[in-house]
A and B are shown apart, each in its own frame.
Chain A
């Protein structure tokens, strides 16, 4: 259990739930959430990690899953595991004070809960007090000015944005505007022995033989997978929840989820549809061999609100990802008509 998860669990177990039973975070009304996050008993929360996380402005993320007693998640090959009603996903965001030295601790920003109610999934975010002990429900989101020392020793700042309830839905509406979890998928969890442990624990049932488990490598470890595997994995977790045939960006015809195989739908020589000024004067989403002529590269490199991709949850450029995708486009075979 990593530091921040331990801290969250300590916070969460510090009181008695004022508006429900141990694992019920709704307040009687479906979808309504407790106002403060100091009151749940999350005994039995299972921490987990994903191979390549969705980039969130260089925050750390600590994740845990809470299953109602005696239940388990059901395996799915591609989509998120099917979690029983009453399940809660917990994710706490923070900034390490010094990314070079995690022992200096971190500042907690928010904890997001995704709750599987009887009418489907709903989410809420809780913003921490200055001392990082308790957190307050933030239905309309929040902005948190933050400072940290970056990997290269430079001092970095960010007006970190806590999403509002609708923005939760925007990203989690992976298929047909129904909210679903995003990270609880076999390919993201299949890292070392983590997924095997979840299966052994009985937390996940219905898994096929381990040899057939899908896998996305750590995008930034060149030894973890091929360039194509790493780039497609990064695109899958960062873009695929909207850019798939059922997602929020379905009207663009650009699909970046892991199941897509058609080069045009992946962007190669595909003219944009509704890009507007974000085209930066370029003709195609991806031009094989030419990252500078690829709209996708422009958009992941931008911080302008109308240009940047992903649209939500990112103020900063993930430099490592831009480098990865540029390398991937450079190595891509083929060319586009002028």
Chain B
């Protein structure tokens, strides 16, 4: 396969004769299109993103683009396309200005078939848009896991009607796919590897996360609610039919970020989220825990935000295939797991059950059946180590337990997301 990039002049000419560089980036695009050929500077690409009109396409050609500054788009209903996530590479490794690779503040945004590599900050951020589609986009930090990598790969925040399908994200020092403070979300068929968090749904409403592959991250799939934000108390996330396995990459998030608390070797984690249904997933081989459900309390961070509910409710974990031996939990939460296991099994072995809950309840809430954490019909790695209630913090009257009977319940299926 010929790759178009500046080479020795004679060689370059021969490639032109072979018909590669002469390819119009807009070839095959229907409707009005502005082509940006490989070799273009960030300034030239930026001009295309300013000149483009609603309904039109900006097409990046095959080849590697060396962008020194960030790009931004503020025109509604624009599509950005490339020739494929292996062929059109927007490289930001020499970036000296701009907090992300591409910043979009426009409705009706679509991007597909290209790669964004090595941004010092986030790769692709979309702020406040109604209508976001990312398909077959690769966001990658090519040096692999490193705490100096940018935080987020694909990052829609405060968006509505979001579709992320068939993307690949590798190396993010926070989350590969990160959906924040958004509503009506489909995250499907993505491949997330070597990130701290593979996929994170944070402070969001109505999300379907299915048929993704999450492996070699620190944590595979996270559903988190955090305080001090404009959109809080996210609810209504379905996580199903995902392959989540071997997420044991040592947590490389810079300290201070909430994902820095995710124990290395976490499959699926729920933090203070509501109405989360986790079902039909394959969750295998995690050193800390396959599925964890916790409140915000063990973070030890004082909450001054009175509108934030820091306790998870209405969680339903069922019909998952859980396997592997979790015998090396890490970090602060891992230490809590070890302590609880120590109380239950003084002689060991300190193997973490497949599903762990911190056991922290809201002292101000009268819990009803609707609020419960329900666990049913999963297949477990070890029938003696299915579940643990950590009774965090240890030391008060409540003791840790592996009794799952209080959680033998179900919730009505959550409605699916249809856009």
Contact = CB atoms under 8 A, between A and B. Distances in A.
Contact of B301 (A139, A165, A271, A295): A271
Nearest to B71: A166
A264 B98 contact: no
Interface size class of A (residues with CB under 8 A): 35 or more
Contact of A276 (B128, B230, B257): B257
B98 A140 contact: no
Interface stretch (A35-43, A69-77, A248-256): A248-256
A270 B301 CA distance: 9
Contact of A273 (B50, B173, B226, B300): B226
B74 interface: yes
A60 interface: no
A264 B14 CA distance: 62
B27 to A, nearest CB: 24
B254 A251 contact: no
B97 A315 contact: yes
Nearest to B256: A279
A313 B161 CA distance: 32
Contact of A140 (B43, B73, B155, B174): B43
A283 interface: yes
Given A271-B258, A305-B121, A251 B229 contact: yes
Interface in B256-273: 256-258
A276 B121 contact: yes
Contacts of A164: 43, 46-47, 50, 72
A142 B103 CA distance: 19
Given A141-B46, A276-B152, A282-B256, A305 B105 contact: no
A265 B228 contact: yes
B254 A276 contact: yes
B20 to A, nearest CB: 27
Given A139-B50, A277-B173, A264 B254 contact: no
B257 A282 contact: no
A281 B256 contact: yes
Interface stretch (A94-102, A105-113, A169-177, A210-218): A169-177
Contacts of A273: 180, 226, 228-229, 258
Given A140-B44, A166-B74, A311-B99, A275 B257 contact: yes
A177 B74 CA distance: 10
A305 B128 contact: no
A253 to B, nearest CB: 4
Given A274-B151, A274-B174, A305 B228 contact: no
B73 A274 contact: no
A304 B127 contact: no
A265 B308 CA distance: 14
B195 to A, nearest CB: 12
B24 to A, nearest CB: 22
Interface string B167-178: 000000110001
A29 to B, nearest CB: 12
A281 B254 contact: yes
Nearest to B106: A177
Contacts of A304: 120
Contacts of A166: 46, 49-50, 72-74
Nearest to A295: B256
Contact of B50 (A140, A161, A279): A140
B122 interface: yes
B180 A251 contact: yes
A244 to B, nearest CB: 11
Contacts of A139: 47, 50-51
Contacts of A277: 147-151, 173, 254
Interface string B58-101: 00000000000110111000000000000000000001111100
A281 B44 CA distance: 36
Interface string A103-122: 00000000000000000000
28 contacts: A140-B44, A140-B50, A141-B46, A141-B69, A142-B43, A161-B97, A164-B72, A170-B72, A170-B103, A177-B105, A248-B127, A251-B157, A251-B230, A253-B229, A253-B230, A273-B258, A274-B174, A276-B173, A276-B174, A277-B149, A277-B254, A278-B151, A281-B255, A282-B255, A305-B96, A305-B97, A305-B98, A311-B99
Given A140-B50, A141-B43, A164-B46, 8 more contacts: A270-B228, A273-B258, A274-B122, A276-B122, A278-B151, A281-B256, A337-B300, A337-B301
Interface of B: 43-44, 46-47, 49-51, 69-70, 72-74, 95-99, 103, 105, 119-122, 127-128, 147-152, 155, 157-158, 173-174, 178, 180-181, 226, 228-230, 254-258, 300-302, 304-305
